[in-house]
């Protein structure tokens, strides 16, 4: 006989049944419910009332925890209800609509449509993001914090730089502007944004907002004598702008430098391109998930590479594969603050420039990884000083060779640049030329739409 439980509804927009413990399937529904209007999961029972393979509360909890780990960020459940039925037990779990955008590990963003969990594309994601609360954590007042916990010197520096960037903006009273950008509540209580950007000692309230630098004397975590350990360790505290400045100063001190002569000019070359390092550092500070406690930004310098890791992984629908083309910020107020300050020169182009600077300096492109709930950028310091000719160099048409010469002179080429070089050739032919060079591994495509450029790979 099928089990019947009063209060349960048929599968649909707000109800889903899982007789068996398959975390991947449950994770899809967790994400879809959280991105939509919420719903209830029934664990241990199918839609026809037949019991499945989940028999105890502990089994249900284990399956649910495994499913939650597959969601980015994890989806919270609430209101557990246990129901005893003949031959077993059923657990009903509630998922509320989330203020965040949730995705699966593979980057899919799902919403609930009837009984289905439907994937949506990037344009739908934009509409969905616009229709839901954003930056709620950034606007939360910090318990125990007061207006005088903000550093007036840091605030004044921000106001001065903001006015230089936006000279036509109306000059508002200081506290009114801080309220407008989300740094203070209407009662003048500092928010998370306010303490992170302007706090005297934000780590007293948000200890996870520090950054740590460690230098190793090997390609592995070893100290100067070859034993496990490190050669230098620094901890950076204070508001985010000062953390960036202090971390950059230490990285600059520890980077190898050499003098090279180009033409008649003596120039200093650093171990890593300065702009690429600063982009990776600023991105880690601007985009980490500050809701995650107990973990800090980590900068690890080895003899062959530098790793910059930020807690929280990639947000929403962003994956390692679409990182260059898609743009989304989990901390829009922090990002805007750092942009107004001048730490971010142009919104949405940091990753592109990081790749371009590394490749143009003769290094491999940066490596991006997002295992679990953290995101790591790895910069390698290997240089290709004397590269032998590649096999493909003898198999290029005249137009493509001209494009390569242009890239070598100018650092990159766009579709428009290529059309100017070859004005008597159709745009589709030129587009296919560039696609061919990307497919061969000669060029690397960066940017999107009108901002698309090609650099040497």
DSSP string, 333-393: HHHHHHHHHTSSSSTT-HHHHHHHHHHHTTPPPPEEE--TTEEEEEEE----SSPPPPGGG
Task: Report the pLDDT value the prediction gives residue 399, as an integer from 0 to 100.
Answer: 81
Give pLDDT tens digits for 283-326: 999 989 898 878 899 999 999 999 999 988 777 667 777 777 66
Which tokens hold the place of 374? 């953290």
Average pLDDT over residues 259-279: 75
Cα separation of 317 and 67, whole Å?
Answer: 18
Judge whether 132 and 99 are in contact, CB under 8 Å: yes
Enumerate the β-bridge partners of residue 362: none
Enumerate the β-bridge partners of residue 448: none
- 391-456: CATH topology is Arc Repressor Mutant, subunit A (1.10.10)
3-state secondary structure of 310: strand
Query: What's domain 15-130's superfamily in CATH?
Result: Schlafen, AAA domain (3.30.950.30)
- Per DSSP, the chain holds a count of helices (H) and strands (E) of 13, 18
pLDDT-derived band of residue 5, with 50, 70 and 90 as boundaries? Answer: low
Judge whether 38 and 97 are in contact, CB under 8 Å: yes
Average pLDDT over residues 94-105: 84
pTM over 0.85: no
Task: Report the pLDDT value the prediction gives residue 133, as an integer from 0 to 100.
Answer: 47
For residue 206, give every residue at least 6 positions away whose Cβ sits within 8 Å of its Cβ, in sequence order, or none. 142, 192, 195, 196, 290
Q: Kindly give the pairing relationship between strand 305-311 and strand 297-301.
A: antiparallel
Average pLDDT over residues 67-94: 80
Please tell me if the domain spanning 15-130 has the same topology as the one spanning 391-456. Answer: no
Statement: residue 263 has pLDDT above 70: no
Cα separation of 8 and 275, whole Å?
Answer: 58
Domain ranges of the chain: 15-130, 134-383, 391-456
- 134-383: CATH topology is Heat Shock Protein 90 (3.30.565)
């Amino acid at each position: 006989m099928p089990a019947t439980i009063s209060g349960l509804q048929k599968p649909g927009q707000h109800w889903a049944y899982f007789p068996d413990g398959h975390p991947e399937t449950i994770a899809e529904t967790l994400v879809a419910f959280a991105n939509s209007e919420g719903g209830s999961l029934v664990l241990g029972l199918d839609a026809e009332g037949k019991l499945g393979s989940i028999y105890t509360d502990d089994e249900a909890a284990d399956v649910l925890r495994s499913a939650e780990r597959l969601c980015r960020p994890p989806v919270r459940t609430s209101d557990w209800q246990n129901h005893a039925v003949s031959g077993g037990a059923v657990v009903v779990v509630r998922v509320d609509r989330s203020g965040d955008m949730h995705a699966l590990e593979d980057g899919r963003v799902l919403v609930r449509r009837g009984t289905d969990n439907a994937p949506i594309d990037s344009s739908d994601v934009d509409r969905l993001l616009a229709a839901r609360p954003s930056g709620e954590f950034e606007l939360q007042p910090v318990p125990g914090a007061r207006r005088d916990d903000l550093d007036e010197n840091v605030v004044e520096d921000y106001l001065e730089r903001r006015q230089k960037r936006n000279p036509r903006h109306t000059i508002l009273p200081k506290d009114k502007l801080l309220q407008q950008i989300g740094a203070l509540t209407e009662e003048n209580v500092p928010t998370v944004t306010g303490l992170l950007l302007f706090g005297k000692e934000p780590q007293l309230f948000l200890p996870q907002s520090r950054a740590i630098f460690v230098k190793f004397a090997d390609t592995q975590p070893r100290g100067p004598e070859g034993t496990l350990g490190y050669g230098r360790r620094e901890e950076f505290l204070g508001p985010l702008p000062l953390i960036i400045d202090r971390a950059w100063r230490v990285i600059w001190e520890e980077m190898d430098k050499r003098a090279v002569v180009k033409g008649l000019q003596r120039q200093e070359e650093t171990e890593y391109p300065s702009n690429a390092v600063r982009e990776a550092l600023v991105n880690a500070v601007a985009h980490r998930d500050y809701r995650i406690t107990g973990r800090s930004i980590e900068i690890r310098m080895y003899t062959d590479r530098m790793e910059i890791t930020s807690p929280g992984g990639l947000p929403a629908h962003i994956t390692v594969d679409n990182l260059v083309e898609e743009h989304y910020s989990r901390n829009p107020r922090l990002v805007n603050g750092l942009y107004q300050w001048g730490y971010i020169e142009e919104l949405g182009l940091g990753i592109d420039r990081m790749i371009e600077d590394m490749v143009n300096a003769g290094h491999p492109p940066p490596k991006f990884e997002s295992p679990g709930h953290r995101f790591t950028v790895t910069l390698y310091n290997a240089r290709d000083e004397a590269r032998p000719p590649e096999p493909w160099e003898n198999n290029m048409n005249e137009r493509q060779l001209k494009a390569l010469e242009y890239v070598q002179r100018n650092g990159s080429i766009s579709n428009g640049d290529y059309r100017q070089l070859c004005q008597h050739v159709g745009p589709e032919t030129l587009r296919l030329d560039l696609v061919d060079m990307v497919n061969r591994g000669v060029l690397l495509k960066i940017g999107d739409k009108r901002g698309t450029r090609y650099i040497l790979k």
